[in-house]
Amino acid sequence: MGFAEWLNDQKKNLGESVDWLSDKLKEQKKNVEGSIMKVTNKDFMQAILAGCALIAAADGKLELAEKEKMAEFIKGSTIMSLYSMSEVLDEFNKYAEVVIADYNTGKKECIDTILKIRYAKGEAKEVVRFCSIIAASDGSVNEKEQAIIKELVETLELEPKEFGF
């Protein structure tokens, strides 16, 4: 093998190395972007789950239909797909347990969590929509659930008419 052949082999090997490195960098970028999305959307995820816990526990008990409907919507949600189902359910259960154990304390904790996204009006509206769907998942929306939804609309400084109030 002469120098010219050797040099061509080196260029080829270098090209393959550069391609490999480029692929690895793209993969890392995708992983980092996913991690950033997960971090930046954590408040949104928690707000949805806190709101759902308030709705699900509005009557003092957690109904299986509400929890199943919430899990179904979470599976189809782009934002929630960033999180494992066990992480999401653990977060939901954390809020729900506090609300069931002591309604006033739990409600305050949930509202405080929801307020973290109040300035992101698009996200705030999605929280209310998500909660409304969960409230209706057992076939009807009772007065307590409707009152919580109305309170969320007011707390998040959204337009009540947009949600039928």
Checking if the pLDDT of 37 tops 60, the result is no
Question: Residues 154, 91: one domain?
Answer: yes
pTM of the entire predicted model? 0.73
Token pair for residue 94? 């954390």
CA distances from 162 to 63, 150, 153 (A): 28, 11, 9
Domain hosting residue 110, numbered range: 42-158
Q: CB–CB of 158/121 below 8 Å?
A: yes
Question: Residues 52, 24: one domain?
Answer: no
Q: Rounded to 5 degrees, what are φ and ψ at 117?
A: -110, 10
Residue found by looking up tokens 């007065």 in the block:
143
Quick check: is 165 in a domain? no
Of residues 104, 126, 102, 103, the one with CA closest to residue 114 = 126
Quick check: is 15 in a domain? yes
Q: Which long-range contacts (CB under 8 A, 24 or more apart) does 143-151 make?
A: 144/58, 144/59, 145/55, 145/58, 145/59, 147/58, 148/54, 148/55, 148/58, 149/55
Quick check: is 75 in a domain? yes
Quick check: is 164 in a domain? no
Q: CB–CB of 97/36 below 8 Å?
A: no
- Structure confidence at residue 76 (pLDDT): 77
Question: Residues 117, 60: one domain?
Answer: yes
Q: CB–CB of 139/75 below 8 Å?
A: no
Question: Residues 52, 130: one domain?
Answer: yes
Please state, in angstroms and rounded to a whole number, the distance separating the CA atoms of residues 155 and 118: 8
Question: Residues 64, 17: one domain?
Answer: no
Q: Identify the CATH number of the domain in which residue 47 sits.
A: 1.10.3680.10
Please state, in angstroms and rounded to a whole number, the distance separating the CA atoms of residues 106 and 79: 24
Question: Residues 66, 140: one domain?
Answer: yes
Q: How confident is the model at residue 17 (pLDDT cuts 50, 70, 90)?
A: low
Question: Residues 60, 13: one domain?
Answer: no
The DSSP H or E segment spanning 29 is helix 3-40
Quick check: is 163 in a domain? no
**Count of domains observed in the chain:** 2
Instruction: Report the percent of the chain where pLDDT is more than 90.
Output: 38
Please state, in angstroms and rounded to a whole number, the distance separating the CA atoms of residues 164 and 112: 24
Question: Residues 36, 46: one domain?
Answer: no
Quick check: is 17 in a domain? yes
Radius of gyration of the chain (CA): 24
pLDDT digits (tens, 9 = 90+) for 22-34: 565 566 656 555 5
CA distances from 157 to 58, 66, 131 (A): 21, 26, 16
pLDDT digits (tens, 9 = 90+) for 98-143: 999 999 999 999 999 999 999 999 999 989 998 888 888 777 888 9
